[in-house]
Amino acid sequence: MPLALLANIGNAVALRADGTAMMLSVAAAALIALNLVIFMVFTQPANAATENWTVQPENWESLRAQWEYSHAVNAAVTLLAFCCATLASIR
C-alpha cells in the first residue's frame, strides 16, 4: 500500500496538465492513505492484541469484530481508490 500511495502521487504529478485526471489521482492517493490509517488504527491493534490470532484474550470477540469491520471498510476504500486511479489513467 505505501507503494500504491507513491504511485498515485506520481500519477497525479504526471497528469497535472489534465485537471480532472490529476484530481482523480489525488483522490486515489488520499484513499490509499486512508486505507493505511484504518489499518494502523483498527486492524494492527487487533493483530497485536491476539498475537496474530494465536492467543485468545478476554475481549477476542470485540477484537474480531473490529478486525473484520476494518477489513471490510478497507476493501471498499481500496475499490474506490482503484476506480479513481483507473479513471484517471484512461482519461
pLDDT digits (tens, 9 = 90+) for 10-30: 999 999 999 999 999 999 999
Residue 62: name the closest of 72, 70, 51, 74 by CA: 70
- What pLDDT shows up at residue 55? 94
Q: Tell me how far apart the alpha carbons of residues 3 and 35 are, in angstroms, rounded to a whole number.
A: 13
Q: What is the mean pLDDT of residues 31-48?
A: 97
* Mean predicted lDDT score pLDDT of the chain: 96
DSSP 39: I
- In this prediction, residues 46-74 reach a mean pLDDT of 96
Give the pTM.
Answer: 0.91
